[in-house]
């Protein structure tokens, strides 16, 4: 079979530790033998972020804006221990945070469903996708320790000298105070991308916040969603026979557990952060979750939802065999290639990407899988494979399908 040509590059953001090892194997075995891969490469590995004073992350995010499609490997977000381990100049910010700040938008996460891996919640029959707002709230907070006797106020000043003030608290013992914000334009684009995604998937959209307690902040999110739904989407939703549904976050959490799945749950930034890990673990494994950031300008950045699988990497460095699951990283690649194919009208690339995903599912369903899945797989396990064997088993199935 002749290799498939691409017109426009995908932005390739390499990363750290075990996922960096998997990244190279995926390209070597599952992409490059079949596609004349056009990618604009940015090394977001921690060493290079440090070497470039993190400029590489900003450049990669700007390239994503230009080319519209990016694929990102998991990266280390440094903490004090990593600063020591890598002898860093600075405790650089989370690359995902930087990319989200540049692109804005919404992160959609959906479980990758395989026959033989049952969700822990027995009523769930269909996937539940989480739509996480990727701007603001505590991710752009300012916070202070306060001392006894402190009076904390919220002050908003305007150019014309007007001020609005509100008392937060008068402290009679030491404490803490935090300021957060969000902006209408970002909430509006969050609402639109969730509604577009729901129409795309033909699934109901749920949205939940804590508006009974946060009567202005959270309520504002609710109002914006409702206005955009009423003015721009209600007819399209009716035509597709799907619903938009708002409820309080605690009510939503209870309903999610009793549901049979098959919907999109939109959540504010922090709620989405927590709930996407909870939902992915309950569906079986963090390594079986696809993740894409969709910006209001139509930029798509695909990644795995998990981290760099640090413990496996230390074993790998010791020359030991690891059984790291590459499914989510493969789906990041197939997602990016599928989107590139759609945007550029390359049907062979679209077909190839779908077949790549199919061969991953076939491999697991035939009983060949990595160690993390073996514990939760209910079918017959033929063999537990190491990281490289798993990728070559997928390649074998891919060759058969192609
Ligand atoms: P992790 O997701 O790497 O690992 C969490 C646990 O899940 C570990 O026990 C790990 O062995 C297991 N696990 C995760 N993915 C797996 C896979 N594909 N196959 C098999 N097992 C898997 O998260 P962590 O240990 O909290 O963090 C490690 C590093 O990853 C940190 O430096 C953190 O900053 C970074 N991180 C990056 C991202 C990202 O770039 N998207 C997300 C989370 C964490």
Task: Quickly list DSSP for 50-112.
Answer: HHTTTHHHHHHHHHHHHHSEEEE-------HHHHHHTT-SS-PPPHHHHHHHHH--EEEEEE-
Tokens representing residue 371 in the block: 């160690």
| Centroid of ligand 1 to alpha carbon of 312 (angstroms) | 10
Whether residues 157 and 242 fall in one domain: no
Number of domains present in the structure of the chain: 3
To the question of whether residue 192 is assigned a binding role by annotation, the answer is no
Q: Check if 107 has its Cβ closer than 6 Å to any atom of ligand 1.
A: no
Q: Which atom of ligand 1 is nearest to the CA of 77?
A: 34
pTM (global) more than 0.90:
no
The preferred substitution site among 70, 292, 306, 310 for testing ligand 1, maximizing ligand atoms within 8 Å of CB, is 306
Query: In whole angstroms, what is the distance from residue 21 CA to residue 19 CA?
Result: 5
To the question of whether residue 62 is assigned a binding role by annotation, the answer is no
Whether residues 196 and 256 fall in one domain: yes
Q: Does the interface predicted TM-score (ipTM) exceed 0.90?
A: yes
Query: In whole angstroms, what is the distance from residue 197 CA to residue 226 CA?
Result: 16
In this structure, the strands spanning 175-179 and 142-146 are antiparallel
Whether residues 193 and 212 fall in one domain: yes
Q: What is the pLDDT of residues 223-257, one digit of tens each?
A: 999 999 999 999 999 999 999 999 999 999 999 99
Dihedral sign of CA atoms 276, 398, 313, 382 in order: positive
Give the DSSP letter of residue 368.
E
The residue whose CA has the least distance to atom 33 of ligand 1 is: 76
| Centroid of ligand 1 to alpha carbon of 74 (angstroms) | 8
Query: In whole angstroms, what is the distance from residue 100 CA to residue 58 CA?
Result: 11
| Centroid of ligand 1 to alpha carbon of 91 (angstroms) | 19
Q: How many helices (H) and strands (E) are present in the chain, helices listed first? A: 15, 18
pLDDT at 12: 98
pLDDT at 14: 98
pLDDT at 181: 97
What is the phi/psi pair of residue 100, to 5°? -65, -35
Indicate the residue among 283, 306, 337 that finishes a domain.
283
Whether residues 197 and 274 fall in one domain: yes
Whether residues 72 and 218 fall in one domain: no
Query: In whole angstroms, what is the distance from residue 325 CA to residue 372 CA?
Result: 7
Whether residues 355 and 369 fall in one domain: yes
pLDDT at 393: 98
Complete DSSP assignment for 362-380:
HHHHTTEE-HHHHTTB-S-
Whether residues 328 and 255 fall in one domain: no
Q: Which atom of ligand 1 is nearest to the CA of 310?
A: 28
The residue whose CA has the least distance to atom 38 of ligand 1 is: 307
pLDDT at 52: 98
To the question of whether residue 53 is assigned a binding role by annotation, the answer is no
Whether residues 129 and 276 fall in one domain: yes
Whether residues 129 and 264 fall in one domain: yes
* CATH number of the domain residue 343 falls in: 3.40.718.10
Query: In whole angstroms, what is the distance from residue 226 CA to residue 228 CA?
Result: 6
Whether residues 350 and 387 fall in one domain: yes
* Contact of 83 with 118, CB cutoff 8 Å: no
pLDDT at 43: 98
Residue 344 CB contacts under 8 Å (≥ 6 apart), including other chains: 6, 7, 8
pLDDT at 198: 93
pLDDT at 203: 96
Tokens representing residue 391 in the block: 């990728």
The residue whose CA has the least distance to atom 4 of ligand 1 is: 309
* Contact of 208 with 270, CB cutoff 8 Å: no
Q: Check if 75 has its Cβ closer than 6 Å to any atom of ligand 1.
A: yes
| Element (DSSP H or E) covering residue 323 | none
Positions in the chain whose pLDDT score sits under 50? none
Indicate the residue among 239, 263, 283 that finishes a domain.
283
Cβ atoms < 10 Å from Cβ of 402: 13
- The three-class DSSP label of residue 14 is strand
pLDDT at 297: 82
Tokens representing residue 66 in the block: 């230009």
pLDDT at 312: 97
pLDDT at 86: 96
Whether residues 69 and 126 fall in one domain: no
Q: Check if 323 has its Cβ closer than 6 Å to any atom of ligand 1.
A: no
What is the phi/psi pair of residue 93, to 5°? -70, 165
Tokens representing residue 105 in the block: 């938008």
11 - beta bridge partners? Answer: 40, 70
Whether residues 123 and 248 fall in one domain: yes
Q: Check if 76 has its Cβ closer than 6 Å to any atom of ligand 1.
A: yes
To the question of whether residue 251 is assigned a binding role by annotation, the answer is no
pLDDT at 201: 86
Domain that holds residue 60: 1-117+287-402
* Contact of 370 with 384, CB cutoff 8 Å: yes
Compute the CA torsion angle 390, 391, 397, 399 (nearest 10 deg).
-160
* Contact of 56 with 43, CB cutoff 8 Å: yes
pLDDT at 217: 98
């Amino acid at each position: 079979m002749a290799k498939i040509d691409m017109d426009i590059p995908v932005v390739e953001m390499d990363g750290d530790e075990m996922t960096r090892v998997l990244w190279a194997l995926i390209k070597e075995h599952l992409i490059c033998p079949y596609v004349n891969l056009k990618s604009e490469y940015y090394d977001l590995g921690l060493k290079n972020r440090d070497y470039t004073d993190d400029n590489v992350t900003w450049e990669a995010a700007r390239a994503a804006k230009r080319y519209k499609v990016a694929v990102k490997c998991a990266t280390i977000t440094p903490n004090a221990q990593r600063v020591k381990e890598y002898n860093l100049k600075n405790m650089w910010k989370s690359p995902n945070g930087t990319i989200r700040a540049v692109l804005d938008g919404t992160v959609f996460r959906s479980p990758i469903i395989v026959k033989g891996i049952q969700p822990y919640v027995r009523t769930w029959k269909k996937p539940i996708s989480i739509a996480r707002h990727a701007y603001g709230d505590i991710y752009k907070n300012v916070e202070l320790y306060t001392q006894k006797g402190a009076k904390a106020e919220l002050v908003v000043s305007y150019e014309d000298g007007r001020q609005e003030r509100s008392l937060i608290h008068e402290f009679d013992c030491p404490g803490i105070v935090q300021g957060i914000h969000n902006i209408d334009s970002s909430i509006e684009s969050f609402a639109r991308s969730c509604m577009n995604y729901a129409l795309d998937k033909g699934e109901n959209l749920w949205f939940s916040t804590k508006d009974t307690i946060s009567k202005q902040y959270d309520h504002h999110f609710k109002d914006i969603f409702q206005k955009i739904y009423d003015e721009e989407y209600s007819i399209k939703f009716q035509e597709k026979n799907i619903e938009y549904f708002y409820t309080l976050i605690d009510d939503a959490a209870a309903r999610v557990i009793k549901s049979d799945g098959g919907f999109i749950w939109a959540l504010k930034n922090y709620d989405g952060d927590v709930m996407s890990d909870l939902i992915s673990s309950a569906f079986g494994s963090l390594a079986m979750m696809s993740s894409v950031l969709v910006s209001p300008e139509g930029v798509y950045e695909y990644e795995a939802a998990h981290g760099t699988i640090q413990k496996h990497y230390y074993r790998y460095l010791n020359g030991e065999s690891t059984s790291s699951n590459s499914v989510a990283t493969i789906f990041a690649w197939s997602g990016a290639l599928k989107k590139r194919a759609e945007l550029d009208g390359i049907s062979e690339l679209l077909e190839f990407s779908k077949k790549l995903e199919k061969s991953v599912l076939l491999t697991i369903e035939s009983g060949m899988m990595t160690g993390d899945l073996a514990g939760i797989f209910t079918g017959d396990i033929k063999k537990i494979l190491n990281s490289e064997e798993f990728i070559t088993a997928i390649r074998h199935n891919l060759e058969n399908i192609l």
